[in-house]
Structure formats: structure tokens, C-alpha cells
Amino acid sequence: MPSVLVTGGAGFIGSHLVDRLLAEGAAVTVVDNFDRFYDPALKRRNLAAAATSPRLRLIEADICDNAALERATAGAHFDVIVHLAAKAGVRPSIENPLLYQQVNVSGTQNVLELARRLEVPQFVFASSSSVYGINANVPWSEDDPVLLPISPYASTKISGELMGHVYAHLYGIRFIALRFFTVYGPRQRPDLAFSKFAGHILEGKPIPVYGDGSTRRDYTYVGDIVDGVVSAISYNRSNYEVVNLGCGSPIRLMDMIRELETALGLRAVLSWLPEQPGDVPQTYASIEKARRLFGYRPKTTLPEGLAEFARSLAAGAAVTAAS
């Protein structure tokens, strides 16, 4: 297995990827600043098992601090960089677009410059289904020339994809942009729908439902996403690709809530609220390109993934009670 640098490796998707890479024998370096967007203690807990491995190195640094990145990685060798670190979330990006531009665009350029200086041949970038915006031509295909982003977050991800093309062209760095579609599962960020809804249901609080409940999302289990990322790490047949990683089967919000109720064994109380700026009516991935390039085949159904999610919540609650 290669030597891999993972930015944002203490986060939701990143920590699952780190666990997988270590299990497969890779040497892994994590760069994470433990941003206070949510409790840093949760991120440290995400890495608790990985931290016992002698093949893990943790660098606490901000991707916006180019000098710190240079110092921490001086003389290092990496076969691939997986760049997951970012300011996340559509709604917060509307409130603070300049911060999102700084972290997601300037920060990404810093990591690309790191790849150039260290002559890293492969760069895997976490993009987002948000780049498609309000494009009504579904399922969304990477070849569709129409991108209609409606949030600053989405625009920063498009910028990252385009910067990657520049570095692939000028410096020969193979750049693979992966457009993630509504990832869920254990360790999900507390601000995201599954975690927020589950917490409210378990506490008997109303869950906020924006709009009429008819919005549809291509919910994708984190284990399937990690399968796709691992495949992208070893991909070598072209120098630049943009690839959807989704489930390919969008589900209505109200149907998702019913499945979550089943997984938790509890009924939800709903609080109906107006639609939010920046939210898109649906996400729907064409995953044919991922199948063709990576052999990608998501295998986790929503009921299966939510059952695992519910088990992780119960296990976390038991640990908290014991401590």
C-alpha cells in the first residue's frame, strides 16, 4: 500500500478512510486543524483506534497556513494526497462566504502547491454534488456542461475542480475529483440531517423539516464512499477525471425520516419550516462513470446503513454513560 496524506482525516469521511487505509497496510499522515465548527473532541474520538497504529502520523495544522504545512511535511514522501479538509455546509457558507473562499479555495491551492513541491503524483479531491445546483437534467452526469450552483460552498468546490485541472496540465499531477452525494453513517457530523434528526428523535424534540418533505437526496453510505476513494487512490488510466460517488437512487425526505424512525424504534415529531436558501430540490447521481473507471458498486441500502448508524449511536451512548 502507498504512503497517503489525508487532509481532514479526523472528520467523518476522513476517519473512516484512515481506518481503511491502515487496515490495508498503508502509511497514513493526517493533517487536521480540529476546527471548532463542531466539537473537536468528537474528531479526536474518530481517530482513537487509528492513533494506536505506528503507521499513523497526525499533524495538527491548518491548510490555510502554508508555512506550517511546509514545515510539517519537509522532506516527506507521499504517493498520494487525499484532500478532504474544507469548510463544509451549504447554509453556513451563505452566512460567511469569504471564509469558505479562504479555506476551500486558497486552502486547496496550498495543498496543491504542497503536492507540486513534494512531487506527489496523485491527488484525490473531495468535491460535492452541490456543484450541480438546480440542474433539472437528472440523473446528474459528469459530462453535463451545465452547472448551476446556488451556494458559495458549491462554487468553492467547482473552483477546486478547476484548479486541479490546471495542476494536472502544468505539473502532471493526476487529479481525481470525487463529487460526493449526501454521505451518512457512523461518525456523521452533528450538523447534518441524520445526526440532527436522530438526536431530536431520541430526546423527544421536534425535528425541523424544511419545505413540504418532497425534496429528494441520493443518500450514500460512508463505507461505499470510502470504497470509491480507495479505488481513486490507485486509478492511473488518465490524468484528470471528475467522478460522481453516489448511490444512484434518490429518496424523498419523508421516506428517509420513516426509515430513520424504524432504525431507532421511535416516532418523530415534525416541525414544518420554510424552504432554506441554497437548498436544492433533489440530488441524483449517475454512477456509470464510477462503475466504468473504478468498478464502483454501492452495496449498502438505506435501511442497512441506518441500522448501522443507529447501532453506532447506541454504542456511543453506552460509552458516555460508562464514563
Quickly tell me which residue has 468546490 as its cell.
157
Mapping DSSP to helix (H, G, I), strand (E, B) and coil, where does residue 211 land? coil
Looking at the DSSP assignment, which residues form a beta bridge with residue 30? 6, 58
Q: Active-site residue 167, yes or no? A: no
What's the number of CA atoms in the CB half-sphere (13 Å) around residue 303?
Answer: 3
DSSP per residue over 112-130, as a string? HHHHHHHT--EEEEEEEGG
Asked if residue 306 lies in contact with residue 257, where contact means CB atoms within 8 angstroms, the answer is no
Alpha-carbon gap, residue 15 to 43, rounded angstroms: 8
| Cell numbers placing 11 | 472528520
Active-site residue (options: 100, 153, 284, 296): 153
Helical ranges in 26-65 per DSSP H: 40-46
Gap between the Cα atoms of 310 and 315, Å rounded: 9
Task: For residue 188, report the phi and psi dihedrals to the nearest 5 degrees.
Answer: -55, 145
Handedness of CA 246, 247, 250, 253 (dihedral sign): negative
Pairing of strands 216-217, 251-252: antiparallel
Which among 38, 49, 320, 43 has a CA at the least distance from the CA of 202? 320
Q: Residue 229 and residue 124: Cα distance in Å, rounded?
A: 8
Buried b (16+ CB within 10 A) or exposed e, 122-152: bbbbbbbbbbbbebeebbbebeeeebebbbb
Tell me which residues are annotated as active site. Answer: 153
